[in-house]
Amino acid sequence: MRWNKISDAVIRRLPLYLRVLDDLAEESEAESISSQELGVRAGVGPALVRKDLAWFGEFGKQGVGYEIGFLRDELRKILNLDSKLPVALVGVGSLGSALTRYHVRRFEEDASFNLELVALFDNNLTKIGDSVEGIPVYGLEDIKHQVKEKGLKIVIVTVPAQSAQDVVNQFVDAGIQGILNFAPVKLKAPDTVHVVNTDVSLELQRLAYYVPSVSPN
């Protein structure tokens, strides 16, 4: 079930709440958590926690708070993380390889992380047929076949800006529904495909505003 009228801002906060609950399940024997504590740990106000969760049902009890195990399970269902979800990555350069290594370690070490990277794609003939961290590298001509065979719904894009739109078009045509874009370019996609842009250089430039400049001697 999808809640189409819920804003993306709400959906962005749900993984924060889930991370808090995952951490609590590992480090504490507590069975419940208040909206106040959940908000503090997630970096938001308790009223916002209650408002966010209320979109999806009644999870808390007055004077008791939220049962950690139950809320954790419900959030995983809401986020489609209650079963293993296969993911692809296209662009096996320095960034793509680093993300692959990180993703593999996270999947192996964190039992609650169900996003499994299962296929890599590149147009470099010296990389096609090879593997990174045991994950095979396919050519772009194999996109449609691998998307269907592996049931891929999400792709991480780490290709150069000039190639990104063409590559994304191929994945969209193959049936991909979610795109995490690291290419420094705005992508066009149908309304049925959700695109999340992550531009490291823009974020660094934003952070520079908050850093006092140092005058040269």
> What does the pLDDT look like over 42-99, one tens digit per residue?
999 999 999 999 999 888 777 778 999 999 999 999 988 888 899 999 999 999 999 9
Whether residue 190 is predicted with pLDDT greater than 60 in this model: the reply is yes
CATH number, domain 85-203: 3.40.50.720
**Domain boundaries of the chain, sorted by first residue:** 8-78, 85-203
Whether residue 26 is predicted with pLDDT greater than 90 in this model: the reply is no
This prediction has a pTM of 0.83
Residue 20, CA atoms < 13 Å, CB-side half-sphere: 24
Neighbour count for residue 113 (Cβ, 10 Å): 15
The pLDDT tens digits of the residues spanning 156-186 come to 999 999 999 999 999 999 999 999 999 989 9
The DSSP annotation for 83-141 comes to S-EEEEEE--SHHHHHHHHHHHHHHHH-TT--EEEEEEE-S-TTTTT-EETTEEEE-GG
How far is residue 50's CA from residue 54's CA, in Å, rounded to a whole number?
A: 6
Alpha-carbon 7 to chain mean position: 17
Which architecture does CATH list for 8-78? Orthogonal Bundle (1.10)
